[in-house]
Amino acid sequence: MTAPYEPDWAAVRRRIADAPWAAGVLAALEADFGHWSGLPLPGPERPSAWIHHYFCDADGAPLRHDPATPDRHACTGCGKVYSGEPWDGAWRAVTHNAAAAQAQRAALLLRLTGSRPARDELERVVGGYARRYPDYEPHGEAAGTGRVQPQALDEAVWAVGLLRAVRWAGDALTPATSTALDAMARAVAGLLRPQAGAVHNIPCWLLAALAECAVRLGDTGLLAWCRDSEFGAEAQVMRGFHDEGLWYEVNPHYHYYALAALLSYREAAGPAGLSARAVRRLSRAVTAPPMLAYADGRLPAYGDGWAECFTADFAPHAEAAWGLLPEHRPSPAPYYAHPRPAPVRLWYGAQLPEGPAPPLTARSSVAALVFGPGALPREPPDHPGPAGSFVWPGAGIGLLRSAGVRAALRYGPDAGWHDHRDKLGVDLATASGWSSLDLGTSGYGSDFTAWLRSPVAHNVVTVGGRPQPAHTGRLVASSPGHLTAESAFGGHTLRRTLTVTGDGWTDAFTVTLAAPDTIEWTFHGDGPFTGEGEPATLTGDLGHEWLRDVRRLRTIGGLVRGTWDARGAPYLELSVPEGFEAYGALAGGNPNGRPLGVLLLRGHAAGARIHARFALPEVGSSAAPRTRGPDEPPPAGRCA
C-alpha cells in the first residue's frame, strides 16, 4: 500500500510568501472561511434531494442557495421563487456539500496558518457528521443510494471532500471524533462498494471515495479492489477515455467530472494506484479538450454539457494533474490562454455555492496552490495546440479550422444516457464573432431541459417526426478543409459534408430513406433570421412547442436567402428541396445569451439534398451583412 500524494506544506507556505497569486488564494480562503463558519449541518430528520432539482423550470438557471433560507429558493435568472419539496431537499444537499467544503478550508488554514478557529471548525463539521452518520436513512434518486446525500454519486463527492480534509489536517481531530470517523468510513465503504458496477463517471467518484476510505482504514484489500476490479480505476481510465483522451460521454462537463474523480482517486491511492499506460491516458485527458475550444476558450457543450463551459474553468484539473501525474505531467498553461475571473475552487469536481471573496484572475484554485507548478511552464514545440484541423476516430469528431471559421462535425459512437441523439450534428464559431453553438443542458429536473435535449434544438436531420435512435456513424472522407460523415438507421442513410472556403463554408446534407417519410432539417445561430416570411404555425413533438415567432419563409427559385440579425453574421443561401417548406423562428437557451434564430426545412419525400452556403462579412467589417431583397442577386463571388 503506497502513501497518498500529500501536499508539501512547507513548500506551499513558501509559495504563499513569494507569489502574489498564492497569497491571494489564501486571503480568499480566509474570507470564505469566515463567511461559512457556523454553517448549519442538515440533520438526519429530513432527507436530501437531487441537486438537479435546484434549477428553474422557466429558464433553466440555477436557484440561489442561501444558508439562512432553507425553505425559499429564488432563480438566479428570472427571480422566480420555489419552496417545498424537492427544492428544500436539494437545498439540504447543497448545504452538505458546502459543509464538506468548509472542512477543507479549515484543514488548509490549520496547515498553513495554525488557526485555532480552523481547528475548532474542522472538529465541529467532521464530528457532527461522523457521530450522526448512522442516523441518516439510506435513500436514492437517479444514481444509486446515499445517506447524507440523495444518491451514491453525491454521497461519494461529499465523502471525498470531507475525508480529503481530514487527511490533509493530519492528527487535528480529537480521539473521540477520530474513532467515530473510522466507523463512518467503514459505513461509507459498505454503502458505496456494491454500487460501483459500470464504466461511467459515477463509479469514478465512488472509487475515489472508496480509496479515501481505504487509506483512512489502512485497508489494502479494498485499495487493490479499487484499482483492479472489473470496473476499477484501471478499467475506468482505459475503457472510459478514447485513445485521443476524450471521455466516452463526449461532452466536456462529464469529461472533466470523470477526470476530477480519477485525479481524486490517484491522490488517495498514490503512485501504485494506476499502471503506467493508464497514467499516460489520463495525462492525454488533460491535454485533449482545449483542442476543441473556440477562439475565446469556450468549449462545446455537447450532449448534457453545461452551457457556460470554458477551458479556464477547468484549470484546477490541469494544476492537480501536474502534481498527481509526475510521470507524464501535462502543462496547465493552455488553460490560462483565456483567463476568466473565478472564485477560489476548493476541490476539483464539486459545484459549490460561493462565498464573499472576490473572484481572482489567473491561478485561483487550491489545486494550483498545493499541486501545481511554481510557475506555469512554456509549451513544448510539439504540444497539440488548438490551431489546425484534425479528426479523432475514436471519439468520432472531425474539426475544421480556417481563418474565418471553426466547424466541428460529430459522427462517433453513442455516448449513453447523456447523448442528445444528434448524430451528424455540427457546431461552429466564426472569426467575425457569430456562432452556432451546441446548447448543452440545464439541471435535469428543470422543464427547460426538455427543449435543450430536443432534436429541434440541434443542427441535425430527423426522419418520421421521431428522434434519432442510438447508433454510430462513420467517417467517409476528410482533409484539412473538408469532412464527410454518414449515419444510417432503420434503412435510412444520412450523409453530411462540411467544407471550409476562403470566405466561409458550405454544408451539404443528403438524405436517402427506406420509404417516403417526413424529413426535417434544422439549423440555428446567433440572432433572428432576417429572410422574408409571414406568421405561421409549426407543430410537432420534437421540441417545436418551444419555438416562438414562427414564420414561413419566402422561397425564390428554390432558395432561401438572408442572414441573422447579429454582429458578424454570415449571409446564407439555402436550397429548399421541391415540396419542402422553410420556416424561421426564435428560441431560448443560446449559451452566449444572444437570441437564437432557428431555421427549419420540412417535407415528405423518399430523399432530399439540402445545400447551404455561408459567406462571412468582408474582412475588416464588424457589422452583419445587410439583408438583400428577395430578387436581388448575391454579390459576385459570394454565395453565387
Asked whether residue 284 is domain-assigned, the answer is yes
Q: Which amino acid is at 636?
A: A
pLDDT given for residue 634 in this prediction:
35
Q: Are residues 224 and 361 in the same domain?
A: yes
pLDDT given for residue 229 in this prediction:
96
Mean pLDDT of the region 16-40? 95
Mean pLDDT of the region 289-314? 91
**pLDDT tens, position by position, 482-522:** 999 999 999 999 999 999 998 999 999 999 999 999 999 99
Q: What is the CATH number of the domain that holds 447?
A: 2.70.98.70
Asked whether residue 138 is domain-assigned, the answer is no
Q: In terms of Cα–Cα distance, which of 264, 282, 93 is closest to 164?
A: 264
Asked whether residue 19 is domain-assigned, the answer is yes
**Last residue of one domain, picked from the residues 377, 400, 415:** 377
Least confident range from 231-240, 281-290, 619-628: namely 619-628
Q: Are residues 373 and 395 in the same domain?
A: no
Asked whether residue 299 is domain-assigned, the answer is yes
* Cα of 466 vs its chain's centroid, Å: 27
Q: Are residues 424 and 295 in the same domain?
A: no
User: Each residue of 129-155: b (16+ CB within 10 Å) or e?
Assistant: bbbbbeebeeebbbbbbbbbbbbbbbb
**pLDDT tens, position by position, 80-105:** 999 999 999 999 999 999 999 999 99
CA distance 184 to 182: 5
346 band by pLDDT with thresholds 50, 70 and 90 = confident
**Last residue of one domain, picked from the residues 377, 403, 435:** 377
Count of domains forming the chain:
2
Burial of 47 per CB tally in 10 Å (0-12, 13-18, 19+) = buried
Those residues with Cβ within 8 angstroms of residue 8's Cβ, 6 or more apart along the chain or in another chain: none
**Is 90 exceeded by the pLDDT of residue 170?**
yes
**pLDDT tens, position by position, 180-210:** 999 999 999 999 999 999 999 999 999 999 9
Q: Are residues 239 and 372 in the same domain?
A: yes
60 band by pLDDT with thresholds 50, 70 and 90 = confident
3-state secondary structure 250-266: CCHHHHHHHHHHHHHHH
Rounded (to 5) percent helix, strand, coil in the chain: 35, 20, 40
Distance separating the N- and C-terminal Cα atoms of the chain: 69
**pLDDT tens, position by position, 368-425:** 999 999 999 876 544 444 568 999 999 999 999 999 999 999 999 999 888 999 999 9
For the chain, how big is the Rg over CA atoms in Å? 26
**Is 80 exceeded by the pLDDT of residue 623?**
no
CA distance 188 to 83: 31
Asked whether residue 470 is domain-assigned, the answer is yes
pLDDT given for residue 619 in this prediction:
54
Asked whether residue 66 is domain-assigned, the answer is no
Residue bearing the bigger pLDDT, 55 or 186: 186
Asked if residue 211 lies in contact with residue 266, where contact means CB atoms within 8 angstroms, the answer is no
Q: Domain limits at 268?
A: 1-29+218-377
Asked if residue 295 lies in contact with residue 406, where contact means CB atoms within 8 angstroms, the answer is yes
Mean pLDDT of the region 548-577? 96
**pLDDT tens, position by position, 601-622:** 999 999 999 999 999 997 555 4
Report phi then psi at 401, rounded to 5. Answer: -130, 135
Q: Are residues 322 and 462 in the same domain?
A: no
Q: Are residues 453 and 359 in the same domain?
A: no
Q: Are residues 361 and 408 in the same domain?
A: no
Report phi then psi at 492, rounded to 5. Answer: -100, 150
Asked whether residue 35 is domain-assigned, the answer is no
Mean pLDDT of the region 423-435? 96
**Last residue of one domain, picked from the residues 342, 377, 412:** 377
Q: Are residues 352 and 444 in the same domain?
A: no
The percentage of the chain sitting over the pLDDT mark of 90, rounded to a whole number, equals: 82
Q: Are residues 351 and 401 in the same domain?
A: no
* Cα of 286 vs its chain's centroid, Å: 14
The percentage of the chain sitting over the pLDDT mark of 70, rounded to a whole number, equals: 94
pLDDT given for residue 385 in this prediction:
47
Average pLDDT of the chain is 91
User: If you search the block for the grid coordinates 489536517, which residue do you land on?
Assistant: 169
Q: Are residues 610 and 527 in the same domain?
A: yes
pLDDT given for residue 378 in this prediction:
75
Q: Are residues 482 and 423 in the same domain?
A: yes
pLDDT given for residue 629 in this prediction:
37
Q: Are residues 489 and 599 in the same domain?
A: yes
Asked whether residue 337 is domain-assigned, the answer is yes
Burial of 539 per CB tally in 10 Å (0-12, 13-18, 19+) = exposed
